[in-house]
């Protein structure tokens, strides 16, 4: 080893010893000893043996090179740990920010989903129908009866509900019959969409007011016309029922009493009538009288043997035909199946008519189905919009 290199090693060892001594001194309590001993470290640089002799005095301490490495490692470890702490803190902050962003995004997504699933309900403005006109009424002892007015104006056109004249969609008419006997049921039916046709019995206690309320809400109105069923008299539609056993005069008197119960209806729908609508002779004068009064006729098809719709077509009485009773079995499942069948009929033929009674379950399912029909491309219309639009049965 060259002398300069050897001197450098000795110098490093000496410095290491001093540093070690200082470190040991710093660890001791800061007390002033009674007898101070002064130590002097002499380093001979020119002699290899003297350097070797001094080496044992500092063997207990690590050489400066090893101390430096340890210090560097410790410093590096502290720096690395500090960097890790900073990195962890930064990552936690970033994670917190990301969670907040995701939370906000989740809130926004939830808001969007609610908007898509539950769109704003369209508020339909009630459009009151034309008020009953004196020119279309005939005052009699049985009440004010509808007649054809000046210039051929007919009740079934004047009092009709509103329907689109340009729509090419399949159409369906929904009729609620039997109204007027229960105030609660009647009010619930009036709250349905105005495109639903409401039919009132002639035996209600407050017909004028209830019919006026229905028409003010935009509903087209029919009159239930009681006709003899096959099960008569076990099933009796009422004291003014049209019967096959009566002569034409008696049936006409009953018809006029029924037609005079209230005003503003577009026509009639037979209530029961499985026997009467299948009997041509007693039926014909009734249908002819309806035509001469400017009304339309809806065949409820209480029997497959009904000849009412065909006869109405022969005498050019505007008519519509019931394709099915929605609540023949008044349960949710059965009503939904009936609605699905009616949808198929409407799509296949372009027009369908369904009839329901004012049972709570019927009104509830109709209210639920109306917006679904719209979304499925079927237009719900007043029954007058389907006059003479259906094939014969």
- pLDDT range class, residue 28, cuts 50, 70, 90: very low
Q: To the nearest whole percent, how much of the chain has pLDDT over 70? A: 67
Is the pLDDT confidence value at 43 over 90? no
The arithmetic mean of pLDDT across residues 206-220, rounded, is 96
Residue 111 is predicted with a pLDDT of 38
The arithmetic mean of pLDDT across residues 16-43, rounded, is 48
The total number of structural domains in the chain stands at 1
Is the pLDDT confidence value at 277 over 60? yes
Residue 318 is predicted with a pLDDT of 98
For the stretch 196-206, pLDDT in tens is 999 999 999 99
User: Which structural domain, as residue segments, surrounds residue 317?
Assistant: 134-386
For the stretch 292-347, pLDDT in tens is 999 999 999 999 999 999 999 999 999 999 999 999 999 999 999 999 999 999 99
Of the two residues 129 and 9, the one the predictor is more confident about is: 129
- 200 - beta bridge partners? 179, 223
Is the pLDDT confidence value at 164 over 90? no
Q: Does residue 63 fall inside a structural domain?
A: no
The arithmetic mean of pLDDT across residues 7-11, rounded, is 62
Other C-beta atoms within 10 Å of 139: how many?
10
Residue 128 is predicted with a pLDDT of 75
- pLDDT range class, residue 393, cuts 50, 70, 90: confident
Q: Does residue 87 fall inside a structural domain?
A: no
For the stretch 70-128, pLDDT in tens is 444 344 444 454 454 444 445 554 555 555 444 444 444 443 333 333 334 444 555 67
Using CA atoms, how far residue 246 sits from 97, 250, 260, 277, 283, in Å, is 87, 6, 20, 14, 11
Average pLDDT, rounded, for the chain: 80
Q: Does residue 115 fall inside a structural domain?
A: no
Is the pLDDT confidence value at 184 over 60? yes
CA torsion sign, 306 to 308 to 309 to 315? positive
- pLDDT range class, residue 39, cuts 50, 70, 90: very low
Residue 162 is predicted with a pLDDT of 85
Using CA atoms, how far residue 159 sits from 74, 95, 156, 173, 192, in Å, is 98, 68, 6, 16, 19
Provide the CATH number for the domain around residue 315: 3.20.20.370
Q: Does residue 313 fall inside a structural domain?
A: yes
Q: Does residue 101 fall inside a structural domain?
A: no
Is the pLDDT confidence value at 234 over 80? yes
Is the pLDDT confidence value at 170 over 50? yes
Locate 211 and state its tokens: 């019919």
Tell me the pTM. Answer: 0.69
Q: What span, in angstroms and rounded, lies between the C-alpha atoms of 255 and 273?
A: 14
Of the two residues 310 and 49, the one the predictor is more confident about is: 310
DSSP letter, residue 56: G
Q: Does residue 85 fall inside a structural domain?
A: no
Q: Does residue 70 fall inside a structural domain?
A: no
Q: What span, in angstroms and rounded, lies between the C-alpha atoms of 366 and 176?
A: 10
Q: Does residue 86 fall inside a structural domain?
A: no
CB–CB of 243/197 below 8 Å? Answer: no
Looking up tokens 């026509």, which residue turns up?
267
């Amino acid at each position: 080893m060259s002398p300069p290199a050897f001197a450098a090693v000795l110098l490093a060892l000496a410095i290491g010893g001093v540093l070690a001594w200082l470190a040991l001194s710093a660890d001791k309590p800061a007390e002033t000893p009674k007898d101070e001993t002064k130590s002097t470290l002499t380093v001979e640089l020119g002699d290899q043996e003297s350097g070797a002799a001094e080496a044992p005095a500092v063997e207990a301490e690590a050489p400066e090179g090893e101390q430096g490495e340890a210090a560097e490692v410790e410093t590096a470890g502290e720096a690395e740990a500090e960097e890790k702490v900073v990195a962890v803190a930064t990552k936690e902050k970033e994670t917190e920010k990301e969670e907040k962003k995701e939370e906000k995004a989740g809130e926004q997504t939830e808001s969007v989903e609610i908007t898509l699933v539950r769109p704003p309900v369209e508020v339909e403005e009630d459009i009151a129908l034309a008020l009953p006109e004196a020119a279309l009424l005939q005052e009699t002892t049985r009440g004010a009866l509808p007649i054809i007015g000046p210039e051929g104006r007919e009740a079934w056109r004047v009092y009709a509900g509103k329907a689109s004249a340009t729509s090419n969609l399949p159409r369906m008419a929904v009729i609620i019959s039997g109204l007027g006997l229960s105030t609660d049921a009647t009010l619930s039916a009036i709250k349905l969409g105005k495109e639903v046709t409401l039919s009132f019995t002639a035996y209600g206690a407050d017909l004028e007011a209830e019919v006026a309320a229905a028409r003010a809400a935009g509903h087209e109105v029919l009159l239930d016309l009681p006709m003899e069923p096959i099960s008569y008299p076990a099933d009796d539609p009422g004291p003014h029922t049209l019967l096959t056993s009566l002569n034409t005069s008696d049936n006409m008197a009953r018809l006029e009493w029924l037609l005079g119960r209230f005003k503003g209806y577009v026509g009639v729908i037979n209530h029961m009538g499985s026997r009467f609508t299948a009997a041509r002779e007693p039926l014909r004068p009734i249908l002819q009288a309806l035509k001469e009064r400017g009304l339309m006729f809806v065949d409820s098809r209480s029997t497959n043997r009904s000849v009412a719709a065909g006869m109405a077509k022969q005498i050019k009485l505007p008519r519509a035909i019931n394709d099915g009773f929605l609540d023949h079995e008044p349960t949710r499942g059965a009503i939904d199946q009936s609605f699905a069948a009616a949808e198929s009929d409407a799509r296949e033929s372009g027009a369908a008519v369904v009839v329901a009674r004012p049972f709570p379950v019927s009104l509830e399912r109709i209210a639920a189905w109306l917006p679904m029909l719209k979304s499925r491309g079927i237009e719900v219309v007043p029954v007058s919009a389907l006059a003479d639009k259906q094939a014969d049965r």
